Amino acid sequence: MDIDLTSIATSTLSVIVVGILLGAGLPLLFSLGIVLQDRGAGGEHADGSITAPNPAARYASWAFFAVVALVVLYGLLFITKGSISHYLGIELPL
């Protein structure tokens, strides 16, 4: 049996690092977007305070959502680039 423990450890570590960056990092960005949406909407909050609507916060929230969407889109194109080149003949520079 030739089992390369070093390469298993390396790939495990990279799966964990990439997993945390994308699998926890993107939900974090999405959550920040949700927080900004909530701020942007104004009105009565859970603690009873009332704030005015804040358009800047609302725009910022959409920026966060857009970043998340772009990262996901990039990921999808990266993963399907083989198929895209096969079916459509487009070589993506990813």
Encode 23-61 in three state secondary structure.
HHHHHHHHHHHHHHHHHHHCEECCCCCEECCCHHHHHHH
Contacts of another protein in 10-49 (CB under 8 A): 10-12, 14-16, 18-20, 22-24, 26-28, 30-35, 37-38, 41, 45-46
Angle between helices 55-79 and 25-41 (to 10 degrees): 150
Query: Looking at beta carbons only, is 66 or 72 nearer to another protein?
Result: 72
Distance of CA 47 to the CA centre of its chain: 30
Residues binding another protein (CB under 8 A): 1-4, 7-8, 10-12, 14-16, 18-20, 22-24, 26-28, 30-35, 37-38, 41, 45-46, 72, 75-76, 79-80, 82-83, 86-87
